[in-house]
Structure 1
Amino acid sequence: MSRRILVVCHEGRHDAVRAADRVSDDLREHGIETVRNGSAEGVELVVVLGGDGTILRAAEEARNHDVPVLGVNLGHVGFLAEAEPEALPEVVARIVARDYSVEERMTLDVQVTTPDGRVQRSWAVNEAAVEKGERARMVVATIGVDGRGLSSFGCDAIILATPTGSTAYAFSGGGPVVWPDVEALLLVPIAAHALFTRPMVVGPSSVLEVEILPYEETHAVVWCDGRRLLDAPSGSRIEVRRGERPVRLARLTEAPFSGRLVAKFNLPVKGWRNLREVP
């Protein structure tokens, strides 16, 4: 049976298109069929050349068909990526040899119930961000966990994240960095007008809840990974729980997450264990 690989890139970026052409040509030289920016149905792997935004777009397609994603970073931080552009020859060689492992990452299932009973559903790899609507001055909401209210306040946004998303929007809002193999859900208020607005980390079986208080000026929206939009007018209830279907990421190394943190954020570690520099 012939092998098929889906190659995804940002078609508006010349460097990404060139890299995708190169990967596709090299894979075809080894007898592997490639598909560009199409369906993941029937493929063994999705190779993504771009930043985290492109990887998230590819993950949406890959998740529908339970196919792993291997990201090559052509963006800025690229936390979801497994390799840098200079490693493209190695990436191709490892794909040809099927020399990669696959890990599963938690996702979120998101549900918004509006006052008229309408139910909207979506999902996220990184986060569901409850943000101000177009004309709203702020989000006025009550947060709760497992059916019990905890606090009410006005804020710019409320981030409901996975451990994978802890280094994305939630990190920028002052949330904790959570290792991706930890099973947990995060809630991070952004610019909240209240005393109790600390980030929270709860267990994977908990349900995070946000109720948009029924004030005339309160209107919110929920962005899932910054890609899928749900409307949440006054009186809406937002529930976020562990997703039933994970996202699968292909890995080329077994390096610890701490090494990824140091590399991606260029953290200073000089002096660690009396070494001048630590890779």
Structure 2
Amino acid sequence: MTRRILIVANPHRADTVAAASVARAALTSAGVESCTAFDAAVDAPIEAALVLGGDGTMLHAAHLTRDAGIPLLGVNMGHVGFLAELERDDVAHAAQRLASGDYEVEERGTLDVTVIAPDGSAETAWALNEATIERANPRTMLEVAVEVDGRPLSSFGCDGVVVATATGSTAHAFSGGGPVLWPNVDGLLFVPLAAHALFARPLVVGPDSVFAVEVVERSSTSGHVVLDGSRTFDLAPGGRVEVRYGSERVRLARMSDAPFTERLVRKFHLPTTGWRGDGHARVHEEER
């Protein structure tokens, strides 16, 4: 059976188009056929995806391959690239490692989202990073009521709220003042955005809990539900959003066993001057 690997790249950027050509050549030399989302045939299964771009491209690839459940290997062609495993100089190497199966798989939690209109009609969707409820009119506050596990928690005016996974904690939730959650934390993070309330702090709940956010009827503006920064649903006053831990996971291909701490330091350029952990460890070993 022919082996196939999907290449997902931003077609509007010259550097990602060039990187895709390098990846195709590397896969061909390894005896693996490459394809894109436009020419992938249903009768030829795809075993993995090589994603060339930033976090936005990774999120697009996650949605594109959701039903296939294949591992995604990201090569960062953007800025921070938290979801990517390698950098832009590693395209050929990434393709070769992916073709040889030389990687581990890390599973990331997702969100299942239900958007309920005032008339009771509902739409369902999912997200890898976050579900954001934003005000439709930037000149006025969005009035919301927040519920956890079927019980009211608080109500306030705000610019919006973010419900995120651990993966999404370093994205929109982080910019809104939320904490960073390590990827192995199974839970939901709630971050109010510019809330006018005494109790409006980020919250973290377990994977069995459910957040609900209602746009109260007195709100002078309606809202938008934005999933992973791209898919949008309208939310009129009286509407409701329910967010729970997802039933399915996204699989990321990893080629390094470096802990998340190192990724955080590298991506955010955090200063570690003065740390003597390695030195203390060596001294301790020599004393023994």
Q: Evaluate the alpha carbon distance shift between residue 99 and residue 216 of structure 1 in structure 2; reply closer, same or farther with a 3 A threshold.
A: closer
Tell me, what secondary structure is at the counterpart of 1:60? helix
Q: In percent, how many aligned pairs have the same letter?
A: 51
Aligned residue pair count: 276
Structure 1 residue 210 and structure 2 residue 213: aligned?
yes
TM-score of the aligned structures, taking structure 2 as reference length: 0.92
User: Following TM superposition, by how much is the alpha carbon of 1:218 offset from its aligned partner in structure 2, in angstroms?
Assistant: 2.7
Q: CA RMSD in A?
A: 1.5
Structure-to-structure mapping, 1:69-84, within 5 angstroms? 69-84=72-87
Instruction: Give the AA of the match of 1:140.
Output: E
| Worse-superposed segment, 115-124 or 31-40 | 31-40
1:28 corresponds to: 28
Output aligned runs, 1:162-201, within 5 Å. Answer: 162-201=165-204
1:132 aligns with 2:114: no
- In the alignment, which residue of structure 1 is the partner of 2:99? 96
Q: 1:71 to 1:214 in 2, by over 3 A?
A: same
Name the CA distance, whole Å, in 2 between partners of 1:222 and 1:158. 10
Q: Is the 8 A contact 2:26 2:96 kept in 1?
A: no
Taking the aligned partners of 1:244 and 1:200, their CA distance within structure 2 comes to 21
Match of 1:245 in 2: 248
1:26 positional shift? 1.2
Provide the rounded CA distance (Å) in 1 between the counterparts of 2:111 and 2:99.
32
Q: Tell me, which stretches of 5 or more residues in structure 2 are unaligned?
A: 280-288
Conserved in 2, the CA contact under 8 Å of 1:185 and 1:203? yes
Q: Which residue of 2 aligns with 1:86?
A: 89
**Residue in 2 aligned with 1:64?**
67
Secondary structure, aligned partner of 2:6: strand
CA distance 1:27–1:168, change in 2 (3 Å): same
**Partners of 2:210 and 2:104 in 1: CA distance:** 31
Give the equivalent residue in structure 1 for 2:286: none
- TM-aligned CA deviation for residue 89 of structure 1: 3.0
Task: State the one-letter code of the partner of 2:97.
Answer: R
Amino acid across the alignment from 2:54: G
Distance, in Å, in 1 between the alignment partners of 2:150 and 2:132 is: 20
Q: TM-score, normalised by structure 1?
A: 0.95
1: CA distance, partners of 2:9 / 2:118: 40
Deviations 1:58-113 (A, max 9, x none): 11011121111110000110000000011223212212221001111000000011
Change (3 A) 1:147 1:231: same
Gaps of 5+ in 1: none
Q: Secondary structure at the match of 1:93?
A: helix
